[in-house]
Amino acid sequence: MRHTHAPGTQRDTGRIEAFSDGVFAIAMTLLILEIRVPQPPSPSEPADLTRALLDLWPSYLAYVLSFVTIGIYWARHHDIFKLYTNTDHALNLLNLLFLMCICFLPFPTEVLARFMHDGANQKVAATFYVVSLVLPAATWTTAWLYASRGYRLIDRHLSREFVRRLTIQYLVTVALYAGAALVSLFSFRMGLAICIGLTLLYLLPPRKPVYVHEAQAA
Amino acid sequence: MRHTHAPGTQRDTGRIEAFSDGVFAIAMTLLILEIRVPQPPSPSEPADLTRALLDLWPSYLAYVLSFVTIGIYWARHHDIFKLYTNTDHALNLLNLLFLMCICFLPFPTEVLARFMHDGANQKVAATFYVVSLVLPAATWTTAWLYASRGYRLIDRHLSREFVRRLTIQYLVTVALYAGAALVSLFSFRMGLAICIGLTLLYLLPPRKPVYVHEAQAA
Amino acid sequence: MRHTHAPGTQRDTGRIEAFSDGVFAIAMTLLILEIRVPQPPSPSEPADLTRALLDLWPSYLAYVLSFVTIGIYWARHHDIFKLYTNTDHALNLLNLLFLMCICFLPFPTEVLARFMHDGANQKVAATFYVVSLVLPAATWTTAWLYASRGYRLIDRHLSREFVRRLTIQYLVTVALYAGAALVSLFSFRMGLAICIGLTLLYLLPPRKPVYVHEAQAA
Amino acid sequence: MRHTHAPGTQRDTGRIEAFSDGVFAIAMTLLILEIRVPQPPSPSEPADLTRALLDLWPSYLAYVLSFVTIGIYWARHHDIFKLYTNTDHALNLLNLLFLMCICFLPFPTEVLARFMHDGANQKVAATFYVVSLVLPAATWTTAWLYASRGYRLIDRHLSREFVRRLTIQYLVTVALYAGAALVSLFSFRMGLAICIGLTLLYLLPPRKPVYVHEAQAA
């Protein structure tokens, strides 16, 4: 009687990608629930709906910023999973951790939208939002560092230069988000501006992967 | 050592379609959350639930209109992606922008439903709703203009006539929605009627693509 | 220059099934949002959470009933789409209409849960819920009648007997739901009991399709 | 005229897996809706947002615990469906029952988060949450017992030893969750600690299936 360990539990990246895609799509769509229909101040006096809808501009801004941010993660998630030749238990868990941070975003988005008008709390709200943007960037970068270290799970034909550049890019992104969080403690407008700038930069086409002929040694 | 750029980051349309399908499905399903269970006016006197459920008719109407509108976009999105032979970074971003407008719809749907009874604000609510219908139509058309211009991303065997007709159809649709928005500033019933009419028209089977034997020059 | 009409817009059933599956999954998951966390009667006196959680039993019951009902539709939707050899524009629209009725269910589910305790309104709430169950059954049956009539879109090797039996089964189901709606106007417990009975019956394995060797004439 | 029963209604596991994946993704993403934006105590005095966001720590904890728990079920669901060679009507229903318990989790998660600060109700809230964790574990185990009994639906090349070990593992898990529910009646911190411990244990890589050369007799 021969015992063999089947490759059955070796998870293919296809399923993780499909699952992550679903989470991205739902998180993006749930963002709209943070924009609440304006309530009349009292049943007797009629609300001025025009004014109320215009006053919701922080909600619209927060909606767009969070939607585009998650949308970019969606697109980049696909690109990076093309670099992985495989996945393992640790990468699956890191990906789950990353998705947990993505799914958290509707909450700080709503906090930002509600308190951007409130002089006493706008700084706190913006800082909370920016810190919430550090989290997915940090977990994303951790997953990349784990997978790319010694070509553990990435294609061995990727050029060392390309891998090094991507690593630097991700680390700089985390540093910039963390810096934006610090900055927003003093000037919440400046902190948010850095995040918007980063998002705009990431709208540019991603760096194309460069492959070399010989497999790289670990 | 040979360096090559892999086609790895060239996104296939299949994944965009699946992702967009997910977003359509979630946006449609979230619409029901805009219909709120009627609250009793005060805990002491019992609510007349029959009356309350009937009074929600603007919510039902808004639900059906938005559901069918998004449903049509879902069906047409599939058709149009059959015309694309490829996608690029710009089209991906335009598609993301379009989806952002689709995901926004539950909010104006709720605004419309809440204020259709409110004489002082019904015009504003309807105009806001119709403007929100202009947005997906406009981004959709922008994506088409980008992709079809000089046969950039569409099948080169599509007849010039068919491409021109689709372009005109989309531009007219945007114009009609924009017109409806203007009209609803004066008569909100008329503005909404135009939108309902457009939706009914789009329930008709779509124009079949016409292919020609020779590839069209850009 | 030869003009041809491509089969490009002929929608394959695979995509409709995947889309419908997504809608089923979301509608089922959204049901939980109808169960609201009990609020303390006043900030000063502490709430009795045990009592409050037990008092939510109509919410749990409504959750289970609606969840299982949609779950059965999900399973049967798959079975019936195996009988279709094709789909056309009208069937797509009928399917969209059916999904619109499925997505509506979280609302009457919440109405039922909220007013089942309320002596003055429990009859209305139950009737509203049962009527909402008539809608998907009726649109489902309409789609089947359209597709099966003269073997329009179903496999021509299905036996006449099997098609006839399924037609009768669906028509009887609609009649029973409609009857339950009438009954619940007088006894809401009886009306709900009929719906629960129908759901239990549909938990039985579905009738196996019977195929015959020769294609059936229209 | 030959009558045959087509294998058309024999559901392939692929579709159940895709559907279950969708439900997992939505249930995880909906968890964020349980965290509510802090409301100012009164419109006149400004809220202290920093304090309010920090006071939400039970919500963050409950979010993370429920997210990771459902995430683990997602990963294990995939592994276990690789052991099934087939599915039947009863297993489909058991899977639906299991998903109903997963979809229920956002509610007890919110109850736990709201009442963890409330001395009079924290025990009840925690017990309710832990009982809600017993349900998916119990339905999961029931499905496994049904499918594995006499190798009814699992691969006949799985070693008896492996099947027995998995059965024991699942039964022990249910017993531990049930024990945690009892414990939380006396010490809610201890009850939750057991659940967290179980979740951490399940973060370890799953046992690899062991296959033997000869098919096992029932």
Output the pLDDT for position D39: 73
In a domain, C37, yes or no: no
Q: Decide if C1 contacts B213 (C-beta within 8 A).
A: yes
What's the rounded mean pLDDT across residues B173-183?
Answer: 97
In a domain, A8, yes or no: no
Q: Which of C121, C122, C132, C139 to mutate to test the interface with B (most CBs of B within 10 A)?
A: C121
Host domain of residue B103: 12-36+50-202
Contacts of C121 in chain B (CB under 8 A): 46-49
In a domain, B152, yes or no: yes
Output the pLDDT for position C26: 95
Nearest-CB residue to B49 (from C96, C99, C124): C124
Query: Which chain A residue shows the shortest CA-CA distance from D36?
Result: A107
What's the rounded mean pLDDT across residues A118-144?
Answer: 95
**Closest CA of chain D from A207, distance in Å:** 30
| Residues D131, D112: Cα–Cα separation, whole Å | 12
Contacts of A114 in chain D (CB under 8 A): 37
Q: How confident is the model at residue D72 (pLDDT cuts 50, 70, 90)?
A: very high
DSSP sequence for chain A: --EEE-GGGS--HHHHHHHHHHHHHHHHHHGGGGSPPPPPSSSSSPP-HHHHHHHTHHHHHHHHHHHHHHHHHHHHHHHHHHHBS---HHHHHHHHHHHHHHHHTHHHHHHHHHHTT-TTTHHHHHHHHHHHHHHHHHHHHHHHHHHHGGGSSB-TTB-HHHHHHHHHHHHHHHHHHHHHHHHHHH-HHHHHHHHHHHHHHHTSPPPPPEEESSPPP-
Contacts of B92 in chain A (CB under 8 A): 75
In a domain, C1, yes or no: no
Report the sign of the C-alpha dihedral through residues D60, D61, D66, D69, in that order: positive
Q: Decide if D2 contacts C213 (C-beta within 8 A).
A: yes
Query: Which chain D residue shows the shortest CA-CA distance from C29?
Result: D103
Query: What are the residues of chain D with a beta carbon less than 8 Å away from any beta carbon of chain C?
Result: 1-6, 8-9, 11, 15, 18-19, 22-23, 26-27, 30, 33, 89, 92-93, 96, 99-100, 103-104, 106-107, 110-111, 114-115, 118, 120-121, 124-125, 128
**Beta carbons of A29 and B30 less than 8 Å apart:** yes
Q: How confident is the model at residue D47 (pLDDT cuts 50, 70, 90)?
A: low
Q: How confident is the model at residue B120 (pLDDT cuts 50, 70, 90)?
A: confident
Q: How confident is the model at residue A123 (pLDDT cuts 50, 70, 90)?
A: very high
| Residues C195, C133: Cα–Cα separation, whole Å | 8
| Residues B214, C15: Cα–Cα separation, whole Å | 30
Nearest-CB residue to B37 (from C19, C27, C111): C111
What's the rounded mean pLDDT across residues A190-216?
Answer: 92
If 0-12 CB within 10 Å is exposed, 13-18 middle and 19+ buried, where does residue D163 land?
buried
In a domain, B181, yes or no: yes
Q: How confident is the model at residue B68 (pLDDT cuts 50, 70, 90)?
A: very high
Output the pLDDT for position B5: 42
Q: Is the pLDDT of residue A178 over 90?
A: yes
What's the rounded mean pLDDT across residues A179-201?
Answer: 95
Contacts of A80 in chain B (CB under 8 A): none
**Beta carbons of D159 and A33 less than 8 Å apart:** no
Q: Is the pLDDT of residue A218 over 70?
A: no
Percent of chain D with pLDDT over 90: 72
Angle CA(B214)–CA(B218)–CA(C2) in degrees, nearest 5?
20
Chain B adjacent subunits, 3+ CB pairs under 8 A:
A, C
Q: How confident is the model at residue B73 (pLDDT cuts 50, 70, 90)?
A: very high
| Residues D147, B137: Cα–Cα separation, whole Å | 50
Output the pLDDT for position C117: 83
Chain A adjacent subunits, 3+ CB pairs under 8 A:
B, D
| Residues D42, D26: Cα–Cα separation, whole Å | 35
What own/partner pairs with CB < 8 Å and gap ≥ 24 does C41-45 have?
none
Output the pLDDT for position C91: 94
Q: Decide if A203 contacts A73 (C-beta within 8 A).
A: no
Output the pLDDT for position A186: 93
Write out the two tokens for B48: 């007349």
Write out the two tokens for D54: 């920090």
- Mean per-residue pLDDT of chain D: 89
In a domain, A3, yes or no: no
Q: Is the pLDDT of residue A6 over 50?
A: no
**Beta carbons of B159 and C3 less than 8 Å apart:** yes
HEC-encoded secondary structure of chain B: CCEEECHHHCCCHHHHHHHHHHHHHHHHHHHHHHCCCCCCCCCCCCCCHHHHHHHCHHHHHHHHHHHHHHHHHHHHHHHHHHHECCCCHHHHHHHHHHHHHHHHCHHHHHHHHHHCCCCCCHHHHHHHHHHHHHHHHHHHHHHHHHHHHHHCCECCCECHHHHHHHHHHHHHHHHHHHHHHHHHHHCHHHHHHHHHHHHHHHCCCCCCCEEECCCCCC
Q: Which amino acid is at D94?
A: L
Give the residue from B52, B126, B109, B19 showing the smallest Cα distance to A33: B109
| Residues B65, C89: Cα–Cα separation, whole Å | 19
Write out the two tokens for C32: 């939980």
| Residues C202, C199: Cα–Cα separation, whole Å | 5
Output the pLDDT for position A54: 92
Distance of CA C106 to the CA centre of its chain: 12
**Closest CA of chain B from C33, distance in Å:** 9
**Closest CA of chain B from C111, distance in Å:** 6
Percent of chain B with pLDDT over 70: 90
Q: How confident is the model at residue A215 (pLDDT cuts 50, 70, 90)?
A: confident
**Beta carbons of A49 and B115 less than 8 Å apart:** yes
Q: Decide if A30 contacts A104 (C-beta within 8 A).
A: no
- The residue with greater pLDDT, A142 or A11, is A142
Percent of chain A with pLDDT over 70: 90
What's the rounded mean pLDDT across residues B44-59?
Answer: 83
| Residues B182, B188: Cα–Cα separation, whole Å | 9
What residues form DSSP beta bridges with C211? C158, D4
Report the sign of the C-alpha dihedral through residues A116, A120, A126, A132, in that order: negative
Contacts of B24 in chain C (CB under 8 A): 19
Residue C182 has a CB neighbour count (10 Å cut-off) of: 12
| Residues A24, A29: Cα–Cα separation, whole Å | 9
The H or E element that residue D168 is part of is helix D160-184
Query: Poorest-confidence range of B128-142, C29-43, D90-104, D140-154?
Result: C29-43
Output the pLDDT for position B65: 96
Count the domains in chain D: 1
Contacts of A39 in chain B (CB under 8 A): none
Task: Return the DSSP state at C212.
Answer: E
Output the pLDDT for position D3: 45
Query: What are the residues of chain A with a beta carbon less than 8 Å away from any beta carbon of chain D?
Result: 1-6, 8-9, 11, 15, 18-19, 22-23, 26-27, 30, 33, 89, 92-93, 96, 99-100, 103-104, 106-107, 110-111, 114-115, 118, 120-121, 124-125, 128
Distance of CA D10 to the CA centre of its chain: 26
DSSP sequence for D8-68: GGS--HHHHHHHHHHHHHHHHHHGGGGSPPPPPSSSSSPP-HHHHHHHTHHHHHHHHHHHH
Low-confidence ranges of chain C (pLDDT < 70): 1-12, 40-47, 218
- Mean per-residue pLDDT of chain B: 89
**Beta carbons of C28 and D23 less than 8 Å apart:** yes
**Beta carbons of D96 and C68 less than 8 Å apart:** yes
**Beta carbons of C50 and D124 less than 8 Å apart:** yes
Nearest-CB residue to B15 (from A37, A64, A78): A78
What's the rounded mean pLDDT across residues B153-167?
Answer: 94
What's the rounded mean pLDDT across residues A79-103?
Answer: 93
Output the pLDDT for position B45: 57
Output the pLDDT for position C216: 81
In a domain, A95, yes or no: yes
What residues form DSSP beta bridges with C158? C211
| Residues D193, D213: Cα–Cα separation, whole Å | 42
**Beta carbons of B78 and C11 less than 8 Å apart:** yes
Write out the two tokens for A81: 């999973």
CA–CA distance from D115 to each of D121, D126, D175 (Å)? 6, 8, 26
**Beta carbons of C212 and D2 less than 8 Å apart:** yes
**Closest CA of chain B from A213, distance in Å:** 6
Nearest-CB residue to C115 (from B18, B49, B78): B49
Contacts of D95 in chain C (CB under 8 A): none
Interface A:D, Cβ pairs < 8 A: 101
**Beta carbons of A46 and B93 less than 8 Å apart:** no
**Beta carbons of D211 and A30 less than 8 Å apart:** no
Nearest-CB residue to C28 (from D1, D15, D103): D103
In a domain, B26, yes or no: yes
Using DSSP bridges, classify how beta strands D3-5 and D210-212 pair: parallel, antiparallel or unpaired. Answer: unpaired
The SS3 call for residue D176 is helix
If 0-12 CB within 10 Å is exposed, 13-18 middle and 19+ buried, where does residue D36 land?
middle
Angle CA(B9)–CA(B10)–CA(B12) in degrees, nearest 5?
120
**Beta carbons of A92 and D78 less than 8 Å apart:** no
What's the rounded mean pLDDT across residues B115-121?
Answer: 86
Output the pLDDT for position C10: 42
pTM above 0.95, yes or no: no
Write out the two tokens for D188: 């809610």
Q: Decide if C37 contacts D118 (C-beta within 8 A).
A: no
| Residues C203, B183: Cα–Cα separation, whole Å | 52
**Beta carbons of B104 and A63 less than 8 Å apart:** yes
Dmax (CA) of chain A = 84
**Closest CA of chain B from A67, distance in Å:** 7
Backbone region of residue D151 per phi and psi (left: phi > 0; alpha: psi in -120 to 50; beta: other values):
left
The SS3 call for residue C2 is coil
Q: Which of D24, D26, D32, D53 to mutate to test the interface with A (most CBs of A within 10 A)?
A: D32
